[in-house]
Amino acid sequence: GIQVEQSPPDLILQEGANSTLRCNFSDSVNNLQWFHQNPWGQLINLFYIPSGTKQNGRLSATTVATERYSLLYISSSQTTDSGVYFCAVGRLMDTGRRALTFGSGTRLQVQP
Amino acid sequence: DTAVSQTPKYLVTQMGNDKSIKCEQNLGHDTMYWYKQDSKKFLKIMFSYNNKELIINETVPNRFSPKSPDKAHLNLHINSLELGDSAVYFCASSQVEGGVYGYTFGSGTRLTVV
């Protein structure tokens, strides 16, 4: 199966700082998503980004599919950004085979 | 309205019992899933299902079985619960629309087996 590696595993930031989270994957994919799991355990879909660049407020993501990596940028971090960020990948093949393979996550703590 | 809802939110039960977790989505998505998150936060697919096909992760014990009465519901039945089944179980649904792959998770069910 596809292997997904995320780095760094842990990250501590001061409020206002910027950060870059990385996701490497071992095979070609046509589905890549970033999720945020907040401290209450809720998983929120941030981006669907199999290739290219997207931005949503202070967050942006870039995927270079040919080089098998994706980056999540967090600018001007806030304490509410704390939690675990997951990269998940998959291959959209037949209907029903859309399960995602998750990386082990980056645990982010933003301190005031 | 909650898009993907799971019940119960917490479940504490004894070893050997049989339990069910319910999941409902009101998004009209065509595929539903069950994921397991262990104590180290690692998320792993258990099942994916739509009205045509059930895909079972080969590592899932056959004590676990999904039941789907209709396309908006995917329940998880667990027989003969073991201590190692303690985890958070997430239901999710997805649909491809306009080239965008929407994926929504429920809030999770924390299962504790004692």
Task: Using pLDDT thresholds of 50, 70 and 90, give the confidence band for residue B99.
Answer: confident
- pLDDT confidence of residue A93: 60
**Amino acid symbol at B6:** Q
Mean of pLDDT values over B75-96 = 95
Q: Tell me the CA distances in angstroms from A57 to A22, A107, B59, B104, one per residue in order.
A: 19, 21, 39, 20
Q: Kindly tell me if the per-residue pLDDT of A35 is higher than 50.
A: yes
Query: B26-44: per-residue pLDDT in tens?
Result: 999 988 999 999 999 999 9
Q: Closest CB to B42: pick one of A33, A100, A104.
A: A104
Q: Kindly tell me if the per-residue pLDDT of A94 is higher than 90.
A: no
Report the C-alpha gap between A46 and A6 in whole angstroms: 16
Interface check for A70 against chain B (CB to CB < 8 A): the answer is: no
> Contact B25/B3 with Cβ under 8 angstroms?
yes
Query: A46-93: per-residue pLDDT in tens?
Result: 999 999 999 999 999 999 999 999 999 999 999 999 999 999 998 766
Task: Using pLDDT thresholds of 50, 70 and 90, give the confidence band for residue A44.
Answer: very high
Strand stretches in A9-75, DSSP E: 10-14, 19-25, 31-37, 43-48, 52-56, 59-64, 69-74
Q: Kindly tell me if the per-residue pLDDT of B23 is higher than 50.
A: yes
Task: Using pLDDT thresholds of 50, 70 and 90, give the confidence band for residue B4.
Answer: very high
Interface check for B58 against chain A (CB to CB < 8 A): the answer is: no
Q: What are phi and psi of B20, to 5 degrees?
A: -130, 145
Report the C-alpha gap between B65 and B29 in whole angstroms: 21
Q: Which of A23, A35, A43, A63 to probe by mutation at the B interface, max B CB count within 10 Å?
A: A43
The token duo for B28 is 């009209």
Strand partners for A6:
A23
Helix (H, G, I), strand (E, B) or coil at A65: helix
Interface check for B54 against chain A (CB to CB < 8 A): the answer is: yes
Query: What is the distance in angstroms between the Cα of B38 and the nearest Cα belonging to chain A?
Result: 11
Q: Closest CB to A99: pick one of B41, B48, B52.
A: B48
Cβ–Cβ below 8 Å for B42 and A97: no
